[in-house]
Amino acid sequence: MSNSADPAESLLVRAATGRPGPRPPVWFMRQAGRSLPEYRALRVGTSMLESCRTPDLITEITLQPVRRHKVDAAIFFSDIVVPLAAIGVGIDIVPGVGPVVEKPIRETADLDQLRALDADDVPYVTEAIGNLVGELGGTPLIGFAGAPFTLASYLVEGGPSKDHARTKSLMHGRPELWHGLCARLAVIAREFLRVQVDAGASAIQLFDSWAGALSLADYEEFVLPHSQAVLEPLAGLVPRIHFGVGTGELLAAMRCAGADVVGVDWRVPLDEAARRLGPGVIVQGNLDPALLQAEWPVIDRAVRRVVEQGRAADGHIFNLGHGVPPSTDPDVLTRIVELVHSTPS
């Protein structure tokens, strides 16, 4: 699906390793999913978690946006809760809601649910990635995992939360339990990423989607060491991307977690993000997903602005500031790819 047969020489991996090519690479968080009619058709009658355990479905769903939009990377079709379900945690993904946990973590004994994960727990991941690497040719595959804080938030709250009140209360009120929980989640996330790299992923992204709910002080004390425990042991294998929403105050700290590329949401322009992050940084982002609903001239201007601001960094991977909303017209995404592809880096 790409001209160059070696994903290590793809625009994405080049940008992520400080060797930018002639134009920025582009992919979209949640590019595989409900915005695509071919995805909705494939998913009829199969639950989300079952889909994530079925190699043929994973492979096909991962390839759909690459074929349709000609994006410069595939992202592995899975979910941040898949490794938790794989080790036996009672968790489901409820349509329109998100991850819901049977027995939320409240006490030290609850941590027994969280044993370490290894490749044998997720054979469908290894199998699907093997198939994908063959199908994708020179197009890189991005593997991913949820970061300890974001996973912990679901496990402590029992489901999605706006204010993360129980999570923050536990973090401050029961710091030993908190650190014990995050240490276990770090092992699970790290090994889930390692399985994907061993199977052939060309880059990885650690999603700490909800880290923006935290102050810098809380992030540094309660979260950063655990995200470091995920990313640092994976140094030197493939480029590591680290992303969260609303993390303008946390960007430099997130880089310290061991990120080669820092994902930025739409709230901070990329030139300002590059300034906050310091020399030698590579950024990913950050078109406001809300603008996908706008008239094309508005989108055109916004895309060009993101590319222009991205030039302030040592490398730029074009993306949205968060995932593709399910109501997005997929033709708009295809057009954005064409526009980015016509713009020099």
Question: From the list 2, 10, 31, 202, which residue makes contact with ligand CP3 (rule: CB under 6 A)?
Answer: 31
Radius of gyration of the chain (CA): 19
Q: What sections of 82-223 are H helices per DSSP?
A: 82-86, 123-136, 148-157, 165-173, 175-199, 216-218
Please identify which of the residues 14, 53, 68, 79 carries the catalytic annotation.
79
The reply to whether omega before 131 is within 30° of 0 (cis) is no
**Closest separation between CB of residue 34 and ligand CP3, Å?**
5
CB closest to ligand CP3, residue no: 209
Choose one: 27-35, 261-269, 295-303, 307-315; the region binding ligand CP3 (CB under 6 A). Answer: 27-35
Note if 43 is an active site residue: yes
For residue 267, what are its two tokens? 């709230």
- 């915005």: which residue's tokens? 35
C-alpha–C-alpha distance, residues 129 and 146, integer Å: 18
Within 10 A of 226 (CB to CB), how many other CB atoms are there? 25
178: closest CA among 165, 167, 164?
167
Sign of CA dihedral 340, 341, 342, 345: positive
C-alpha–C-alpha distance, residues 11 and 72, integer Å: 7
Note if 34 is an active site residue: yes
Note if 335 is an active site residue: no
Choose one: 93-101, 166-174, 223-231, 234-242; the region binding ligand CP3 (CB under 6 A). Answer: 93-101
Note if 79 is an active site residue: yes
267 lines the binding site for ligand CP3 (CB under 6 A): no
Choose one: 96-104, 196-204, 248-256, 262-270; the region binding ligand CP3 (CB under 6 A). Answer: 96-104
The residues pairing with 117 across neighbouring beta strands, listed in sequence order, are none
Please identify which of the residues 53, 72, 124, 154 carries the catalytic annotation.
154
**Closest separation between CB of residue 210 and ligand CP3, Å?**
7
E strand spans, the chain: 74-75, 91-94, 98-101, 141-146, 203-207, 240-243, 261-263, 282-287, 315-320
Show contacts with ligand CP3 in window 45-64 (CB under 6 A). 48
Give the H or E element holding residue 65.
helix 55-69
Question: From the list 24, 99, 246, 310, which residue makes contact with ligand CP3 (rule: CB under 6 A)?
Answer: 99
20 or 140: CB nearest ligand CP3? 140
35 or 345: CB nearest ligand CP3? 35
- Cβ atoms 189, 151 nearer than 8 A: yes
Show contacts with ligand CP3 in window 306-325 (CB under 6 A). 323
77 lines the binding site for ligand CP3 (CB under 6 A): yes
Show contacts with ligand CP3 in window 107-146 (CB under 6 A). 144
Question: From the list 1, 4, 54, 98, which residue makes contact with ligand CP3 (rule: CB under 6 A)?
Answer: 98
Residues annotated as catalytic (active site), given as ranges? 30, 34, 43, 79, 154
Site residues, ligand CP3 (CB under 6 A): 29-34, 43, 48, 75, 77, 79-80, 93, 95-96, 98-99, 144, 150, 207, 209, 323
